[in-house]
Amino acid sequence: TAGPISHPDTVLIAAVQNHKTLVVRHLDGTTAAWESFGDIVDLAWLPGGQYLVYSEQIVVNPELPGTLGLRHNLWRHNVTTGLKQLLATTDENLHSPVVSPDGRYLALYSGTLYGDAWFVDAQLYIMELTASGERAGLVELADFSGLPEIDGTVAQPNLFGPGDGPSNPVPGEWANGHKLTTRLVWYCSQTDATGVYSLDMIGRTA
């Protein structure tokens, strides 16, 4: 199950029951529930308390071990009308959303997060949303200037750093409406560049 999580301004509470049922409890004690095709594994409120964003986990190959056979849809769900909007399909496999304070950005992982020796299937993205909540763009680490350039490797999210550890990694933490603090690593490289970085969406700088 995911949640329950409460919205700080509206005191609405959202949770997931039986893996696939999104439930929202209102102030008057009434509840609303909606069924999902796949498991709801990540759940976050958008500012204002009218919308939730969540990852829907789909098993595309049950014969593969661990997370290798899993993919994700990313949804924006209106808890008033019940209508939901697809922000990203399983082809992009975006999940684990962390919402910026103004709701204009979503920090996301892409990939299965599977690691083997010097390879980890994980990328960091930031999705831009319009004022009305439509998807406006998708920014990757390569779009930011200021990151060290290491021969033979590229920057990736560090899933195994201190704090949350590998069992519950998160893409980062928003310092304000446009700056994301995140841990980065350069696998297959003996470099001291690994550490905590601030990604500024306004100037696309790290």
* Tens of pLDDT, residues 64-102: 888 888 999 999 999 999 999 999 999 999 999 999 999
Distance CA 197, CA 182 (A): 5
* Tens of pLDDT, residues 112-163: 988 876 778 999 999 999 999 999 999 999 999 999 999 888 999 998 765 5
Q: pLDDT at residue 5 above 90?
A: no
pLDDT of residue 161: 61
* Tens of pLDDT, residues 163-184: 544 556 899 999 999 999 999 9
pLDDT of residue 204: 97
DSSP string, 146-189: T----TT---EE-TTSTTTTTTS--S-EESSSSEEEEEEE-TT-
Closest by CA to 16, choosing from 38, 173, 28, 169, is: 38
pLDDT of residue 97: 96
pLDDT of residue 152: 85
Closest by CA to 73, choosing from 63, 87, 61, is: 87
pLDDT of residue 10: 74
Distance CA 58, CA 73 (A): 8
Q: What is the dihedral of CA 116, 121, 124, 125, to 10 degrees?
A: 180
